[in-house]
Amino acid sequence: MRYLQLTHNEWDPATKTSRPKVLHSFGREDQLDRDAIKRLVASLSRLLDPATALRTSSGADPGDLAFTSSRPVGGTLVLDALWRRLGIDTVMARLLDGCKRDPRTERVLFALVANRALEPGSKLAAAGWINRRCHIDGLPETSDDACYRAMDWLLEIAPDLEREVFWQVATLLDHEVDLLFFDTTSTYFETEGPDDPVARDAHGRPVPDLAGDPASGPVGDDGTGTAGGDTAGDPVGFRTYGKSKDSRDDLPQVVIGMAVTRAGIPVRVWCWPGNTTDSALIRQARADMRDWTLARVMWVADRGFSSAQNRRELRRGGGHYIIGEKLRSGSAEATAALSRPGRYQHVRDNLQVKEVRIADDERFVLCFNPEQAERDAALREVMTGKLAALIAASDRLTAEKRAELRGRISTMPGLNRYLRTTPGGLLRVDKKKVTSETHLDGKYLLRCSDPTISAEDIALGYKQLLQVERGWRDMKTTLELRPVYHRLEDRIRAHVILCWLALLLVRIVETTTGRTWNQVRDDLQELHVGTFEGPAGTFRQRTELTTTQRDILGKLVVNAPKKIIELGPPATS
């Protein structure tokens, strides 16, 4: 019978001999707990640098270590920290509890959101990116099928997720949500034709009993609006023809709406069929936000939502609005606002405002930007110069050739605005139009229903609508909303939600660091994790942090990753 002990020889200066000192007794050799010894060795190895640990345990030479891969970790590290700070992982974990789904579904959805922010592509490409080109905590690998299944589940939990994100932005991040900016855009699909029409409910979702296509059956409630006008149940395809904001009326499209806070944080997104009317959009968005029992919401929208019907809808339930009014519309309000005398008051930077009294139940604020007025005048001079050069020799042309020239100019809005045709069919620069346009340089008109807010806040509030427009620009470029690599309605909706979540995290990074996401991303993606393999195992170690990376992590209050990220046994073949 043999007993095993871990001993250490200590020198005895008195006897001038070494004596063994028992550090640990393992017990009888035939009852040895080898798994416990492995755990002890692994624990002790953490006190050593990786190369020494592997060499000590295996007797291998440092040259036996192989540097097998290197992946960026900085971007996913920061996005994951913000994802958890917003409680998105907690919401998903709660909804996954008791659900017969892969417990890694939350990790897959985070990976898809991170992919949109860092290296956007199709879901098939995203799976390859996760497996080979990034490091995501808790998700060493996945498949495109897992990505599609996760997207399907995302639609089911969309209402709970949207509500949680909204209140976390309002409370945890301490962002004001009393002033919400709403705007819409469209994204087109290069397909041969629109989707087959299906009956839809008041939210623009397919009615399962009438749709006739189980594959496009009930989808998650992500706040869609009434499709095809104001009558619920009108059959219409999801990807269908409508007024395109990308000037592609020839292609099917879907309409997307977004609500954004003062700081540019997107708090909710909607997705509607491509021919949905403005009145249906604003009505559904207003109803959805009202369901969250907000005490007071001031809706800010651009000139496309200035119809009387939209304004009435926004005032329901005590709500208020700030909406732009088209000065070139020739409306009574625009004409009156421009004709009223009064001095402008300087507000901030280059912004000047003048409140004019036109109606009892609405306030009108005329805004003026001197620098913009100079740009408008310079641009008009360029346009009229090009027009004059284009029609300079047109008097010598035949009537038919002049008509052809007139037709070409009509396709150029900037030039066509200043073109006049005489009774004899000659082409001239419209000098009266040029004169009238000079009175509009640098000016825009705002409507507001709130009697308490100052004219300055009305103007500044509307100016922040640019945050929404910038959001659309970033969503279509940096996050690559388009092209959409999906044809099923529920997958398209899920794709839009993923883009919204990516934009949410990106905006939090930007507002906190004061830098653009492209700049932050480039710096973070230089932080890599390297993988080393040897006879005794595998370890992963990050590169050293740069001063810029430490500054970014400090501003975002994100802990730097451990130097040794993982230390494990050899991979089994």
One digit per residue, the tens of pLDDT, for the chain of length 573 reads 788 888 888 888 888 788 888 887 888 888 888 777 777 777 776 666 655 665 555 444 555 678 888 899 999 999 999 999 999 999 999 999 888 899 999 999 999 999 999 999 888 899 999 999 998 999 989 999 999 999 999 999 998 899 888 888 877 665 566 677 888 889 999 988 999 999 988 778 888 754 444 443 333 333 333 344 444 456 899 999 998 888 888 999 999 988 888 778 888 899 999 999 877 887 788 778 776 756 567 788 888 788 888 888 888 767 788 998 888 877 888 888 888 888 999 988 889 999 998 888 899 999 999 999 999 999 999 999 999 999 999 999 999 999 999 999 999 988 999 999 999 999 999 999 999 999 899 999 999 998 888 898 889 888 878 777 888 888 888 888 988 889 899 999 999 999 999 999 999 999 999 999 999 999 999 999 988 887 767 778 889 999 999 999 999 999 998 887 776 666 554
In a domain, 202, yes or no: yes
| CA torsion through residues 49, 54, 55, 56, sign | positive
In a domain, 13, yes or no: yes
Do 229 and 300 fall into the same domain? yes
Do 290 and 432 fall into the same domain? no
In a domain, 329, yes or no: yes
Do 181 and 271 fall into the same domain? yes
Beta strand pairing call for 179-188 and 298-301: parallel
Do 476 and 328 fall into the same domain? yes
Nearest-angstrom CA–CA distance, 58 and 119: 39
Residue 342: what residue type? G
Nearest-angstrom CA–CA distance, 500 and 270: 10
Do 220 and 304 fall into the same domain? yes
Nearest-angstrom CA–CA distance, 238 and 138: 36
Do 181 and 287 fall into the same domain? yes
Do 201 and 312 fall into the same domain? yes
Nearest-angstrom CA–CA distance, 507 and 503: 6
In a domain, 283, yes or no: yes
In a domain, 358, yes or no: no
In a domain, 123, yes or no: no
Helix or strand run (H / E) with residue 568: strand 564-568
Do 216 and 298 fall into the same domain? yes
In a domain, 556, yes or no: yes
Domain range holding 208? 176-334+452-484
Nearest-angstrom CA–CA distance, 110 and 76: 9
Q: What's the pLDDT score for residue 230?
A: 45
The two tokens of residue 125 are: 């490409």
Which residue blocks in 65-183 are alpha helix, DSSP H? 74-85, 88-96, 105-118, 123-132, 144-171
Do 250 and 294 fall into the same domain? yes
Give the number of C-alpha atoms closer than 13 A to the C-alpha of residue 262, restricted to the C-beta side: 14
Do 309 and 420 fall into the same domain? no
Q: What's the pLDDT score for residue 379?
A: 94
Do 431 and 474 fall into the same domain? no
Domain count, the chain: 3
In a domain, 520, yes or no: no
Do 182 and 250 fall into the same domain? yes
Q: Is 538 helix (H, G, I), strand (E, B) or coil?
A: strand
